Amino acid sequence: MSKVMSNVTLADFSTCEISDALIKLSVPHGGHIPDIHMVSPGTSNSDVRICSPAYTVKMVLASNTTAPKLTSHFVDTAPAGSAIVIDAPPEAKSAVWGGLMTAGAQARGATGVIISGRCRDLAEHRAQGFPVFSRGHSTLGQSPFTRPSAINIPLTLAPQGPGAEDFPAVTVQPGDWIIADEDGVVCVPQDLETQVVDLASKGREIDSRCMEDIKAGKGVQQSFKLHRGK
């Protein structure tokens, strides 16, 4: 990662701080990929976070005979230090990630996996301390329901379920920064990294002043108006 702002990097900020910065940069979704939550190593663990470039994987239904096929398992080609981002068909109720894949990803030096879809073998991921974020989980494995079709391509991750049409999709480009923690998952385009770090740093300073005044009894509204200007 490039060094900016006196060695301050994206890894120094929470997903919330990063989303706030992206909103200020007119990214309408604040980089947030909704409805994907931490399932490993625990459902609430403030020490677990991912801040790594994306290695993207596109899954298709097994019944799709026209989509390309991979010649190698996608875990075996994951770069060290990458966050594996998987887009599964929204109608699939089976998992696209399991305990053996976590073992393979750890052996490759991957930092975690973000799944727009389901995983399984939760106990195995948690026992290995591997960060897994997904939309849900399942008892069913990948075969014979889905298969990987492409790696290192842009993934457009759209919200699912009620109200999905009211929230913009997030496009993850290979190499974009993926930041994930107990609050959720955020994608930062590579070309916005420096600006996000700058704005997040300023936002943290402002919020620190607000917190100090609020704790002193000055009130939320007055503190916001004084430091945030609203």
Indicate the annotated binding residues for Mg(2+): 121
What separation in angstroms does the CA of 206 have from each of 92, 213, 224? 44, 11, 9
C-alpha R_g of the chain: 19
C-alpha closest to that of 21 among 216, 179, 214, 221: 179
- The alpha carbon of residue 37 and the mean position of all alpha carbons in its chain are separated, in whole angstroms, by 9
Binding site as annotated, residues for substrate: 98-101, 120
CB distance 176 to 156 below 8 Å: no
Q: What residues contact 145, with CB distance under 8 A and at least 6 apart?
A: 61, 62, 92, 93, 94
What sections of the chain are H helices per DSSP? 15-24, 99-108, 122-128, 193-215, 220-227
- The alpha carbon of residue 117 and the mean position of all alpha carbons in its chain are separated, in whole angstroms, by 13
Binding site as annotated, residues: 98-101, 120-121
∠ CA 223-229-230, rounded to 5°: 80
Q: What residues contact 129, with CB distance under 8 A and at least 6 apart?
A: 40, 41
∠ CA 168-164-37, rounded to 5°: 90
